[in-house]
Amino acid sequence: MAFISSTCEPLRIWSRLEPRARQVDFAGTLSAPIADPMFLLGRQWQFGEFAGTDAGSAIFATLAREIHPMTVPGAGPDDGVDAVTERLPIAFPLVVRARLGRTLLSRMDAALIASGVEQVTICTPPATRSCSSPATRRNGATSVWPHAHWTAPASRKDSPMNDKTKLADLRKSYERGSLDVDDVASDPFAQFGHWLNEALAAELPEPNAMTLATVGADGRPSTRIVLIKDYDERGIVWYTNYNSRKGRELEANPFAALQFHWIELERVVRIEGRVEKVSAEESDAYFKSRPLGSRIGAWASPQSEVIPGRGTIVARVAEYGLKFGLNPPRPPHWGGYRVVPDYWEFWQGRASRLHDRIAYRLQADGSWLRERLAP
């Protein structure tokens, strides 16, 4: 028999009835003894092997019959032999069990997707019991059936996206709010402060996290997540290692883009502008406010450089911890950057992908022009 799965190669398990010589004496082999001759005779009759043509019928047949009681360990008085034997564990090798499990999961995925059912419960009742109730009484005690909940692939968090169709089907309808030119502040910094405060009030996970995009001298863009540490009418501030990749790219091309994505509020804020270093006094003040481990780490990590292993960092942390103790100074290669915005965009998700987008563009006289953009 063969199990065919769309997620793995076919699994084939072959069973073959074949008299084989297992001893030096061939007498037993030549007689072709069969453990269950009645079963074999029944199969021969079922498949028409006795309906031969141009062949004679047997003149006589000799039959012998012996009756022996059959006992199966674990069988109750009402249990049939089949019910007991089917409950016995099958000693499949691990690789066979894994392939059978993958085949079952794949077929259940396909069945649930086709039926539109999001979750089913699989229960394994005791023998001769019905699966219509969650528990059964046995010997005066209550035994709960083993069961498992099966969720459709589209909503299973642990389901691997190994099918491009499943990935393409992921979508969300944005319906939490709206945004119009008349709804936003005339100044983008004020509008940003309003949205940031709402994100903080909503207790979103890391509302201060933002994507920073830079472009190197070779024209290749790169992104990473950094944390906003301050903002005012001058711009958005974060701190980092000046010798890191982003530091080197900003040295060659002092422009950057930032993006905040507050998923739960269905909002995005995009910021573009020129980048400058903050003053040494600002960097010193913020560095002193950091935890001791982070201050030592600023010395220990040659950020973005290739290292042999984590042991290198651990050794450097110990080295600089011993050197500076509880008062490490700010490294000369570490400090703050500020994006001085000349463009803002506020994005509010809407249904049917007809999102609201309001842009602010800095004008020559220092004012901000508000515009609605097509979704």
**Is residue 353 annotated as a catalytic residue, yes or no?**
yes
Q: What is the DSSP string of 191-221?
A: HHHHHHHHHHHTT-S-TTEEEEEEE-TTS-E
Does residue 349 contact residue 266 with C-beta atoms inside 8 Å? yes
Write out the two tokens for 225: 């997540």
Let me know if 357 is exposed, middle or buried by CB neighbors in 10 A (0-12, 13-18, 19+): middle
Taking the C-alpha atoms of residue 221 and residue 244, their distance in angstroms, rounded to an integer, is 15
Q: Measure Cα distances from 293 to 60, 231, 296, 298, 305 in Å.
A: 97, 25, 5, 9, 20
Within a 10 A sphere around the Cβ of 75, how many other Cβ atoms?
Answer: 16
Buried b (16+ CB within 10 A) or exposed e, 115-150: eeeeeeeeeebeeeeeeeeeeeeeeeeeeeeeeeeb
Does residue 316 contact residue 303 with C-beta atoms inside 8 Å? no
Q: What angle do CA 25, 31, 34 make, to 5 degrees?
A: 110
Let me know if 346 is exposed, middle or buried by CB neighbors in 10 A (0-12, 13-18, 19+): buried
Q: Which of 353, 357, 361, 370 is catalytic?
A: 353
Q: Can you say how many angstroms the Cα of residue 163 is from the centroid of all Cα atoms in its chain?
A: 13
Active site residues: 353
